């Protein structure tokens, strides 16, 4: 093999490694506090996922999954009997597509979800979790039987926010669900009155 051929092959491999190491900055998330999440999302619900369907987008180049969510409580936005939340990634046949640091929803489980209408590959203005893992809080039962809301962002490294905080809001123990919902409602009310909230 010529020197030129060897050099070209080496550059191609280096470019491939660089691409794999930085998947469109999918894993680079700047920490978002609760007030910031409330301010930047149109809909916040406590809901249970009741079904999920994965499919190829119209162009056939990206897998998406529609999750049917039954809201148990609407904290911000219009109340709906059901919501369809679309996330990037999923499984179709033998092929699975995963989004690094993406929100993960499972039928039968409940979550606090921060939702917005956004453009996704092949779908305009889909209702989705735009902040990925930071916009989804698992509702889990603590050892004492109480319900806690735990950020999925605890499973991924976050870039410090402007105050230098790097831990997901609530930390690994999360928030008491009732206290979190009350806090979110108060933030929504402050926003509606035109008062500033912490970012």
Write out the two tokens for 180.
Answer: 């979190």
Write out the two tokens for 3.
Answer: 């020197």
Tell me how many degrees the CA angle 165-166-169 measures, rounded to the nearest 5. Answer: 85
- pLDDT tens sequence across 183-199: 999 999 999 998 766 55
- pLDDT tens sequence across 65-102: 999 999 999 999 998 999 999 999 999 999 999 999 99
Q: Are 134 and 29 in contact (CB under 8 A)?
A: yes
Q: Give me the chain's average pLDDT, please.
A: 88
d(CA 56, CA 122): 9
Q: Are 126 and 120 in contact (CB under 8 A)?
A: yes
Which helix (H) or strand (E) is 107 found in, with range?
A: none
d(CA 16, CA 40): 35
What domains lie within the chain, and their CATH numbers?
28-192 (2.40.50.120)
Q: What was the pLDDT predicted at 198?
A: 58
Q: pTM, whole model, 2 decimals?
A: 0.83
How far is the CA of 101 from the CAs of 6, 154, 163, 164, 168, in angstroms?
A: 36, 10, 22, 20, 13
């Amino acid at each position: 093999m010529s020197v030129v051929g060897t050099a070209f092959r080496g550059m191609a491999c280096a470019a491939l490694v660089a691409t794999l190491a930085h998947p469109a900055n999918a894993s680079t998330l700047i920490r978002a506090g609760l007030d910031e999440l409330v301010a930047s999302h149109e809909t916040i619900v406590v809901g249970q996922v009741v079904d999920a369907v994965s499919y190829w987008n119209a162009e056939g180049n990206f897998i998406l999954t529609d999750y049917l969510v039954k809201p148990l409580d609407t904290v911000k936005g219009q109340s709906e009997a059901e919501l369809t939340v679309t996330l990037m990634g999923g499984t179709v046949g033998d092929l699975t597509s995963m989004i690094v640091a993406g929100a993960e929803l499972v039928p039968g489980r409940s979550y606090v979800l921060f939702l917005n209408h956004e453009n996704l590959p092949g779908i305009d203005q889909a209702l989705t979790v735009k902040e990925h893992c930071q916009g989804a809080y698992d509702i889990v039962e603590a050892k004492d039987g109480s319900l806690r809301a735990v950020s999925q962002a605890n499973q991924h490294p976050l870039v410090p926010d402007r105050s230098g905080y790097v831990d997901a809001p609530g930390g690994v123990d999360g928030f008491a669900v009732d206290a979190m919902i009350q806090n979110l409602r108060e933030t929504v009310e402050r926003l509606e009155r035109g008062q500033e909230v912490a970012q």
